[in-house]
Amino acid sequence: MLSDRRQRVLAALIEEYVARALPVGSRTLTERYHLGVSPATVRNELSVLEDGGYIAQPHTSAGRVPTDHGYRAFVDNLLATDLASSDERYSAVADQLKRSASELDALLERTSSALTRLTDCLSIVIAPSVLNLHIKQLSLISLSPMRALVVLVTEDGQVFNRQMEFAEEVSGDDLARVQRFLGDVFTGKSLSEIEDGLGQGMQAALHDPLVRMALDEVLSCLQESDLSRAHRLGVSSLLSQPEFSHSEALLPVMQVLEDETVLLHILDDAARQSCGAGAPCVRIGSENDAAELSGVSVVASRYGRGDSAGVVAVIGPTRMNYSKVIRAVRMASSALEDV
């Protein structure tokens, strides 16, 4: 546990490093920050912080830079103190977002844009998983004896459709029979339950090729929709950061972000780690499970209700403005909480 004075010195060093991306010396801290102690005391505190692994000296004659351990101590203190109260500026942005879009996709896109604008980092907003929503209506519509359209309506009004093509002609009566069965068994149940083969009469029905085909088409349609529901903006913002001035430094990060399955797992796993009091989860550098993300920090939060909750996240250099980013992610989560 750091003393109050060492926390102030560490916070000042991090603030300076975030602003300028240059190693910070004791003279800079003494001249620019009102720490209330002598330059000799600042030098001594920096030595103690370095011995504790909170800061490091890249070169013998250079100043110090924060380590992941130092950022963690700073963020934990930030979450416990400075972020305890709400911020009216961010609350106003959240209210504006709620009023600005009536459709979910438009709201997600505008929220992602606001996050990028507020943080100068990469923002990602992932819609709630459709696999955990409940079915309101499922219809099979005959287009021809060899083709039919599966139409699925979820409880929140989302509509998904997919065409089925048959190897042999299928009558309208057979389609109506399958539709009645699916409606009786699955209306009001979640799509995950369908995938798991749950529900009354399910096992016997799987012996019917038409039922099995309809289910396969429904699940394929929804799984594809799930993997395309990430709204991301701000890659250019990352490229503008000194840490990523060379595109090859950003390449490992982008490779992770382009893999939708890995991305969903990483962000959802991070967002599930509650930091208390509604605060987003912060994973700093080496704390990320994916080695490719060891050079960035991920600030993530879930929004919505239950298993169908979505994820809002910001990814940026470990030298990010944590106070601003945490407030922005909390704002975005608030704007989306009722979707």
pLDDT given at position 138: 84
**Mean pLDDT of the region 119-130:** 84
The token duo for 234 is 């701000």
Give the model confidence (pLDDT) of 288-323 as tens digits: 988 888 999 999 988 876 666 788 999 999 999 999
What's the confidence (pLDDT) of residue 107? 83
pLDDT band at 193 (very low <50, low <70, confident <90, very high): low
Say if residue 255's pLDDT is above 90. no
* Average confidence (pLDDT) over 100-127: 84
What is the mean predicted confidence (pLDDT) over 200-206? 57
